[in-house]
Amino acid sequence: MQEPFVKTEIRKDENIVYKRTDLLVDRPLSYCPGCGHGVVHRMLMETLEEMNIQDKTIGVSPVGCSVLAYDFMNIDMVGAAHGRAPALATAIKRLWPNRFVFTYQGDGDLAAIGTAETIHACNRGENFTIIFINNGIYGMTGGQMAPTTLPGMRSSTSPYGRDVPTMGHPLRITELIANLPGVYYVTRQAVHTPSHVRKTKKAIRKAMEQQKENKGIAFVEVVSNCNSGWKMTPVQSNIWMEENMFPFYPLGDIKVDGKLIQSSEIAK
Amino acid sequence: MAKIKGDILVNVERCKGCEVCIAACPSATIAMSKEVNGKGYHFAMKINNDCTGCMNCAIVCPDGVITVFRGKVSE
């Protein structure tokens, strides 16, 4: 395959300004084209590389699309039972208090089957980082309705849209756990545009650095797309996410340094 | 006069053709190829010389297939 428009005078090793980090194992990611998981994996690994803590970090992978996260991240990882990643991370952090521990969970794992573990780990004020990918759907099993599915949103088990009187209200678990005293830092970000990706990376960096202070849980929610589950192209799903997900899941910091902010906006 | 220009190198076999980089590129430098790679995806490719090396495409790429170069060009 010929490549037109190659600038050979620039294409040298000393001119590289961005390259996939070596902390991601050199194999293709198992995610669908356009999925936000890949970006979050890369930002997490870049953060660990910049902080130079890759040999002191232990990750806990969930059940869901990201169940194979340990296959892609070149650090020590443990696979948890469905929803039990915060319980496992609690044990790891208590046995290895000098290590950096994070869990990487989706909304089916953290907000559905693992709600009890999440809330209790947050309420106890454990000192690890939770990275929560929210796409409003059970992506891995075929796009069924999740607790985080928006009102009126179509999924394979709510084909006429989520009907709130019969199917209940969506769960804003991030705002729920932000009110708990054991939680120190809560933020909600996205990864569909370059500026949002940069903000997400800063949030992950802050969340990992706060483990040194032993103040409590740092919780980073990333609102992501699921173009396969939503039955859209990746670019369409990013636009749909901006128009529909962000009004219900507003981006920004929710709790910084143990103090709640923008609580009036969340109340509505 | 020397100008700062950029270039991208796409790992063709890893690209899944999601087109997120096209939406992120400010100079409309990237488009999908007509050919397909080994997995049957149309892959991203450079279609002009306007690249500034801003890294936007590489940052949003879910699979991290894009390597970005930036340097001086004598023109």
User: pLDDT digit string (tens) for A115-135?
Assistant: 999 999 999 999 999 999 999
What value does the CA radius of gyration of chain B take, rounded to a whole number of Å? Answer: 12
Please report the ipTM that was assigned to this predicted complex. Answer: 0.92
CA distance B2 to chain A (A): 12
Answer yes or no: is A49 within a domain. Answer: yes
- Residue A35: CB partners within 8 Å, gap ≥ 6? A65, A224, A225, A226, A227, A228, A234, B62
B70 forms beta bridges with: B6
A235 pLDDT band, cuts 50/70/90, is very high
* Residue A65 domain-assigned (yes or no): yes
Q: Please give the pLDDT value at position A267.
A: 47
Residues A224 and A36 sit within 8 Å (Cβ to Cβ): yes
Helix (H) or strand (E) holding B69: strand B66-74
SS3 (DSSP) at A74 = coil
pLDDT at A261: 86
How many C-beta atoms surround the C-beta of residue A258 within 10 A?
13
- pTM to 2 decimals? 0.92
| B35/A38 Cβ within 8 A | no
CA distance A238 to A232: 9
Distance, CA of B1 to CA of B36 (rounded, Å) = 39
Domains and CATH numbers, chain B: 2-69 (3.30.70.20)
CB contact under 8 A, B60 and A194: yes
Cβ of B19 within 8 Å of Cβ of A233? The answer is: yes
**Which site among B19, B39, B60 would you substitute to test the A interface, given the most A Cβ atoms closer than 10 Å to its Cβ?**
B60
Q: Is pLDDT of A161 > 60?
A: yes
Closest in B35, B59, B69 to A197, CB measured:
B59
Q: pLDDT per residue over B23-74, tens digit each? A: 999 999 999 999 999 999 999 999 988 899 999 999 999 999 999 999 888 7
**Gap between the Cα atoms of A134 and A104, Å rounded:** 11
Q: How many CB atoms lie within 10 A of CB A169?
A: 10
Q: Which domain holds residue A72?
A: 30-267
Does a structural domain hold residue A229? yes
Look at residue A9 and tell me if it is in a domain: no
Mean pLDDT computed over every residue of chain A: 91
Q: Do A7 and B5 touch (CB under 8 A)?
A: yes
Asked if residue A141 is part of any domain, the answer here is: yes
Phi, psi for A50 (deg, rounded to 5): -65, -35
Please report which confidence band the pLDDT of residue A13 belongs to, taking 50, 70 and 90 as the band edges: confident
CB-CB: which of A19, A20, A235 is closest to B23? A235
Q: Residues near A123 by Cβ (< 8 Å), separated by ≥ 6?
A: A180, A181, A182
pLDDT tens digit sequence for A174-206: 999 999 999 999 999 999 999 999 999 999 999
Count of domains observed in chain A:
1
Report if residue A14 sits inside a domain.
Answer: no
A36-92 pLDDT, tens digit per residue, is 999 999 999 999 999 999 999 999 999 999 999 999 999 999 999 999 999 999 999
- Cα–Cα distance, A3 to A66 (Å, whole number): 34
Q: What is the CATH number of the domain that holds A216?
A: 3.40.50.970
Interface test with A, best of B63, B73, B74, B75 (most A CBs within 10 A): B63
| CB burial of residue A64 (10 Å; 0-12, 13-18, 19+) | buried
Is residue A153, in this structure, part of any structural domain at all? yes
Specify which residues A79 forms β-bridges with.
A61
CB contact under 8 A, B58 and A18: yes
Examine residue A220 and state whether it is found in any structural domain, yes or no: yes
